[in-house]
Structure 1
Amino acid sequence: MSRISARGFAVASATAVTTVGAVVGVAQGGAAQPGNDAEATASDSTLLADLPVGQQAEVQTASLTQQADVQAIAADTTAKKSAEEAARKQAAKDAVAKQKAAKAAAQAAEEQAKAAKEAKERAETKAATARDSNRGDVGSFPQQSSYSVAEVQAIARQIVPSGQFQCFSNIVNHESTWNYQAVNPSSGAYGLVQALPAGKMASAGADWRTNPATQIKWGLNYMNERYGSPCDAWGYWQANGNY
């Protein structure tokens, strides 16, 4: 190769390097630096003109190939960053979707548990109502010719709700000492709860004179309707000495 050819290729190499540097600078977001590089490029371009046409084409082809390589690298880097950003955004969307799904599942489970609890409470209330209804069924107690105090109390325990029995018992104990045939000689009050007038107990059954179950049913209804419960009636009795 001649001196001119060697010098031309050297100049071409310098030109290519300068051009590549400029392209890389742009790909990396930096501005190309004017000044010495531009002057060198202009000078090298002048020297390039000294080369034969065929060699000039070779040098220019090499320079363009290097530029294309740099541009391809820059494009690949940009594409990679775009793909990473898209993946990050998709991951964030997926996380939000999973969080919403988990929240919805938890809410559904809570609603199901609440519905199950309410259904259980309704069933228990229904069963308690049925028990209370059976408690008040006087016909479920076979009538006897006479009853002991223990027998009368046993009947009362089956009719009066367990949480109210002690209050009911306190009143009956003070009014009649559990004697279902007790009579107040001055007022005419009669029976376990000393109904006055005594005939009011007929609303619970025609056998009110001889059946303690009928008297207990009437007394329980009276306390519930007038005071709210046997315990409320007992509270009134304690404050006033009567009910």
Structure 2
Amino acid sequence: MSRISVRGFAVASATAVTAVGAVTGVASGNAGQPMSDAEATASGTTLLADIPAGEQVEVQTASLTQQADVQAIAADASAKKDAEAAARKQAAADAVAKQKAAQKAEEDAKARKEAEEKASRDAARESVTTFAVQSSYTIGQIQAMARQMVAADQFQCFSNIVDHESSWNLHATNPSSGAYGLFQALPGSKMVSAGADWQTNPATQIKWGLSYMNGRYGSPCGAWSYWQANHWY
């Protein structure tokens, strides 16, 4: 017998048993009296248990094969589900790692820029002593000094403040408050921290003004933003 399902085999067996039962009934003197459905079913049920041993093995083998197929399908589905979950988890982890890497790169770039700006400011402060002292200075000369001392990307903001405070007049004095110099320091004498010649040397005043803006606002552009909002800094 080829591999068949249990149900199929049972139906085939019941049919065969019914036929055998009918023949047996005729042989027993029941000729002309057909077996009822109930009797056939009863006979079939009784004799179904007497399936030959070889056929029972085939039925059991078919059943086990079907069970194995079902289990294999279930295992494949579970493995696929686990793989999809693992892939989603890995994708999320990769996205987080990528975001952290981008953030670190941005922070590193910012740190490098700040270091470069600081180095530029330090170099500018050191270059103050290279300017020859003069009895008087033109606006162009003072601006040229400032360009050498202030970072290029900060110069316009720096210049805007000086324009509004003193119009680049190193001797500008506020008659009411006594504020003095390019940056209208109040009192003007506080610029002595940058040099004793603060009253006459624009380089000394620039050094002080740049240090003040960086220290209080982070940069000349930070100071200019504050000035625009408040008209003082």
TM range (shorter): 0.5 to 0.7
Match of 1:92 among 72, 81, 93: 81
8 Å contact from structure 1 (residues 20, 66) kept in 2: no
Deviation at 1:184, TM superposition (A): 7.3
Change (3 A) 1:221 1:233: farther
- For residue 72 of structure 1, what is the aligned residue in structure 2? 61
Change (3 A) 1:233 1:100: closer
Counterparts of 1:193 and 1:16, CA distance in 2: 110
Match of 1:132 among 95, 108, 121: 121
The AA in structure 1 aligned to 2:208 is: W
The AA in structure 1 aligned to 2:65 is: D
Deviation at 1:126, TM superposition (A): 1.7
The AA in structure 2 aligned to 1:104 is: A
8 Å contact from structure 1 (residues 164, 231) kept in 2: no
- For residue 156 of structure 1, what is the aligned residue in structure 2? 146
Match of 2:14 among 6, 15, 18: 18
Match of 1:40 among 32, 39, 43: 43
Deviation at 1:103, TM superposition (A): 1.9
- For residue 201 of structure 1, what is the aligned residue in structure 2? 191
Counterparts of 1:103 and 1:217, CA distance in 2: 51
8 Å contact from structure 2 (residues 165, 184) kept in 1: no
Deviation at 1:20, TM superposition (A): 8.5
Please state whether the residue corresponding to 1:229 is helix, strand or coil. Answer: helix
For structure 2, the residue ranges without an aligned partner over 5 or more in a row are 1-10, 18-36
Give the total of aligned pairs. Answer: 195
Counterparts of 2:45 and 2:79, CA distance in 1: 49
For structure 1, the residue ranges without an aligned partner over 5 or more in a row are 1-14, 22-33, 46-59
8 Å contact from structure 1 (residues 180, 210) kept in 2: yes
Counterparts of 1:156 and 1:95, CA distance in 2: 63
Q: Identity percentage over the alignment?
A: 35
8 Å contact from structure 2 (residues 162, 183) kept in 1: no
Match of 1:192 among 145, 160, 182: 182
**Superposed CA offset, 1:32-56 (max 9, x none):** xx944443348979xxxxxxxxxxx
TM-score by length of 2: 0.63
Please state whether the residue corresponding to 2:92 is helix, strand or coil. Answer: helix
Change (3 A) 1:194 1:81: closer
**Superposed CA offset, 1:27-85 (max 9, x none):** xxxxxxx944443348979xxxxxxxxxxxxxx7x833223322322221122111211
The AA in structure 2 aligned to 1:201 is: M
TM-score by length of 1: 0.61
